[in-house]
Structure 1
Amino acid sequence: MWTDPNVRAVLLLLLALAAAYLAYALIWPYTHCGACGGGKKTAPNSKGKYWRKCGRCGGTGKKIRLLARALGRKP
């Protein structure tokens, strides 16, 4: 099974993708908040001002990625 070149190529591709995502999560541990769209939730006619803090991110507009949290990064 492991001697088949196609299986080895797919396995190497999956390992490379996993390593790339691991590096991505370590370099950029934060992503935009899905609840408020990265701090862009505003009230109508508010001229771009926030009308309340997001309950998920606390108004920062960012949240920590799941893999970064699993690796010990703190928000």
Structure 2
Amino acid sequence: MIDGIHIDAAVLDLNLNGHASYPIAELLILKGIPFLFVSGYSVRDLRKEFANVQLLPKPVDNTALLSAIDGLLKAA
């Protein structure tokens, strides 16, 4: 799915038209690509294996989103 594509970091909506983005998140972890979730759900709704992944609540504040992306890129 993402083979052959260079990705520095990713922002995932937790719910993609009724489907959780967990399979994509798992692939990003396997590839070592930093990411965060954006969601209307709370951190308590995350699966336990993603408890350490940052979750920004919707509606997302632009400054907070840019800061979070900057943090992902610096950690990469």
Give the alignment's TM-score, normalised by structure 1.
0.21
TM-score by length of 2: 0.21
Greater Cα radius of gyration, structure 1 or 2: 1
Which one has the bigger strand percentage? 2
Using CA pairs below 8 Å that are at least 6 residues apart, which structure has the higher relative contact order?
Answer: 2
